[in-house]
């Protein structure tokens, strides 16, 4: 699957920057391209200047709202970020039109932090504009939820998250949710933490995107998981996870048939990788809430047998009991057995509902402080209408 990636705001730009490295890795190690172009969109010149891998010309690092913000950002006011994206969104569209091999793109992926100003406001607006211009291409969002300290100390962040999530849900074909807090190392520096988090967010996409782009018959699976399978799986709230089990170097060259103990060990490794993938999902959730799911097994061809495939399928179906499951194999890695899992169409994400509830409380408190009407509790579905849309 080939993506065109757009990072919105500081957080989105840095993760998009890491996608450039992912494509370089795919090109160097596998001779394939999985990212056709990467853009960064921001209202802050300093944030655009702080990127390392996205090309530094104005067609790849796109400043919006320069006249209104003087290149200094929107100060966490995501309504302004949305307005500036509406005004200058044509800059992004024109750059995309100039992308080489535009026809090869399978989907767009827009990335932003939900708690900020520019990214939070711009991502749903740019998503809507892309859907209007490229109706045949899916437009996905990857939205990063705030750290715990941001939720506790920055009340405005909660409002931004609620309005961003609602607006993105109305615009995007699917939204990958990422919980920043899951990746924090308490004793590491801020810079090291953020770099590692960005890498861990991007890493699960590697094999998933590569599998359908292989051209070497040696590495094409018996059941290829390609762009069509991914597109049919992704809808609404989604999460992705990745697990790995090491394969020991010890071999038994004089054993013609697989010993039952070896076969059992291989199946156990698959279960271990699947458990790790489900345990490392980008957002903690209940797999039974997923209506769609997929998994990709990446391992040396000699490690993949039917019992392993059946075991992985049974394992995922046992967790995501309501999901339609697609699967594929990718005979690529050496020395490890990797499993990538996507859960999609999550009908009841507790984390998202919590943000909506907190946003409604924020609006209610603001109204009360201003002498307006207090909302009170009316149920999440009805109160959802009271969260402003950025579109």
pLDDT value at residue 150: 83
Does 232 fall in a domain? no
| Residues near 118 by beta carbon (within 8 Å), at least 6 away in sequence | 8, 9, 10, 41, 42, 43, 44, 64, 73, 74, 78, 81, 84
| 226 lies in some domain | no
Give residue-wise pLDDT tens across range 76-132: 999 999 999 999 999 999 999 999 889 999 999 999 999 999 999 999 999 999 999
Last residue of a domain, one of 202, 231, 263: 202
Structural domains of the chain, count:
3
Given 156, 185, 202, the domain boundary residue is: 202
Coil, helix or strand for 24?
helix
How confident is residue 256, by pLDDT bands cut at 50, 70 and 90? very low
The answer to whether 114 touches 120, Cβ cutoff 8 Å, is yes
Considering only CA atoms, which of 165, 176, 166 is closest in space to residue 139? 176
Query: Element (H or E) spanning 197, and its range?
Result: helix 190-202
The whole-number average pLDDT for the span 48-57 is 96
Query: What is the rounded CA–CA span in Å between residue 11 and residue 260?
Result: 49
Question: Cα-flanking dihedrals φ and ψ of residue 281, to 5°?
Answer: -60, 150
- 151-198: per-residue pLDDT in tens? 887 778 999 999 999 999 999 999 999 998 888 765 566 667 788 899
pLDDT in tens, 124-164: 999 999 999 999 999 999 999 998 888 887 778 999 999 99
Could you tell me if 197 and 274 lie in one domain? no
Q: Which of 145, 180, 202 is the last residue of a domain?
A: 202
Question: Same domain for 31 and 153?
Answer: yes
Q: 376 — alpha (psi -120 to 50), left (phi > 0) or beta?
A: left
Domain for residue 78, yes or no?
yes
pLDDT tens digits, 279-297? 999 999 999 999 999 999 9
Q: 387 — phi, psi (to 5°)?
A: -80, 125
Please report, for the domain that includes residue 22, its CATH number.
Answer: 3.40.50.1440
Do 90 and 174 have their domain in common?
yes
| Mean pLDDT, rounded, for 64-81 | 93
Which CATH number covers residue 297? Answer: 3.30.1330.20
Are 88 and 19 members of one domain?
yes
**Residue 218 counted as domain residue:** no
- Residue 229: inside a domain: no
Question: CA of 212: how far to CAs of 22, 217, 266, in Å?
Answer: 16, 12, 25
Give the domain extent around 129: 3-202
pLDDT score recorded for residue 104 = 94
Helix (H) or strand (E) holding 291: strand 290-298
3-state secondary structure of 4: strand
Q: Are residues 360 and 337 in the same domain?
A: no
Q: DSSP code of 389?
A: P
Decide if 198 contacts 14 (C-beta within 8 A). Answer: yes
The share of the chain scoring above pLDDT 90, in percent, equals: 71
Please report the pLDDT score of residue 136 as a whole number.
Answer: 94
Query: Following DSSP, what letter does each residue of 108-147 receive, concatenated?
Result: EEEEEETTSSHHHHHHHHHHHHHHHH-TTS-EEEEEEEPP
370 in Cβ contact with 146 (< 8 Å): no
- Cross-strand bridge partners of residue 360: none
- Domain-embedded: residue 228: no
Report the range of poorest mean pLDDT among 226-240, 316-330, 352-366, 372-386. 372-386
Q: How far apart are CA 79 and CA 310, in angstroms?
A: 49
Within a domain: residue 295? yes
Q: Are residues 305 and 370 in the same domain?
A: no
Provide, rounded to the nearest whole percent, the portion of the chain with pLDDT above 70.
91
Residue 391: inside a domain: no
Strand partners, 145: 179
Q: Is the pLDDT of residue 67 over 70?
A: yes
Residue 107 and residue 245 in one domain: no
The number of beta carbons lying within 10 Å of the beta carbon of residue 265 is: 14
Q: Which of 179, 229, 101, 174 is nearest to 345 (CA)?
A: 174
Q: How far apart are CA 60 and CA 41, in angstroms?
A: 8
Considering the domain architecture, whether residues 360 and 340 belong to the same structural domain is answered as no
User: What pLDDT is attached to residue 259?
Assistant: 53
126 and 31 belong to one structural domain? yes
333-348: average pLDDT = 92
Same domain for 194 and 293, yes or no, is no
φ/ψ (deg, to 5) at 388? -60, 145
| 149 & 188 share domain | yes
**Whole-number pLDDT of residue 224:** 94
Pair 102, 196 in one domain: yes
Query: What are the tens digits of pLDDT across the range 349-389?
Result: 888 989 998 998 888 887 777 765 554 544 556 557 778 89
> What residues have CB less than 8 Å from 238, skipping those under 6 apart?
174, 175, 176, 177, 342, 343, 344, 345, 346
């Amino acid at each position: 699957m080939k993506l065109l990636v757009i990072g919105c705001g500081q957080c989105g730009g840095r993760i998009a920057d890491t996608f450039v490295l992912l494509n370089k890795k795919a090109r160097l190690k596998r001779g394939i391209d999985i990212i056709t172009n990467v853009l960064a969109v921001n209202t802050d010149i300093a944030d655009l200047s702080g990127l390392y891998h996205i090309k530094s010309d104005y067609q790849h690092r796109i400043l919006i709202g320069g006249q209104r913000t003087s290149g200094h950002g929107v100060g966490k006011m995501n309504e302004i970020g949305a307005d500036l994206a509406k005004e200058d969104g044509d800059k992004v569209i024109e750059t995309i039109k100039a992308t080489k091999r535009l026809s090869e793109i399978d989907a767009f992926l827009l990335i932003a932090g939900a708690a900020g100003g520019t990214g939070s406001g711009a991502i749903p607006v740019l998503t809507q504009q892309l859907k209007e211009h490229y109706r045949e291409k899916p437009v996905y969002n990857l939205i990063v939820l705030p750290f715990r300290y941001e939720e506790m100390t920055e009340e405005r962040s909660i409002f931004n998250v609620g309005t961003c999530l609602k607006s993105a849900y109305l615009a995007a074909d699917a939204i990958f949710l990422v919980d920043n807090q899951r990746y924090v190392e308490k004793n590491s520096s801020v810079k090291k933490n953020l770099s590692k988090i960005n890498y861990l967010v991007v890493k699960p996409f590697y094999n998933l995107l590569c599998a359908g782009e292989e051209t070497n018959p040696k590495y094409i699976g018996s059941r290829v998981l390609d762009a069509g399978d991914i597109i049919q799986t992704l809808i609404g709230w989604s999460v992705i996870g990745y697990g790995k089990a090491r394969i020991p170097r010890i071999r038994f060259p004089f054993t013609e048939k697989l010993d039952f103990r070896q076969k059992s060990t291989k199946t156990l490794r698959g279960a271990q990788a699947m458990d790790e993938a489900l345990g490392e999902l980008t957002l903690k959730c209940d797999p039974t809430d997923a209506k769609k799911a997929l998994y990709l097994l990446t391992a040396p061809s000699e490690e993949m047998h039917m019992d392993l495939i059946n075991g992985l399928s049974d394992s995922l179906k046992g967790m995501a009991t309501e999901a339609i499951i697609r699967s594929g194999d990718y005979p690529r890695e050496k020395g490890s057995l990797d499993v990538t899992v996507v859960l999609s169409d999550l009908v009841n994400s507790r984390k998202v509902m919590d943000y909506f509830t907190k946003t409604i409380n924020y609006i209610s408190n603001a109204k009360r402080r201003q002498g307006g009407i207090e909302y009170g509790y009316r149920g999440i579905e009805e109160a959802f209408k009271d969260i402003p849309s950025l579109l």
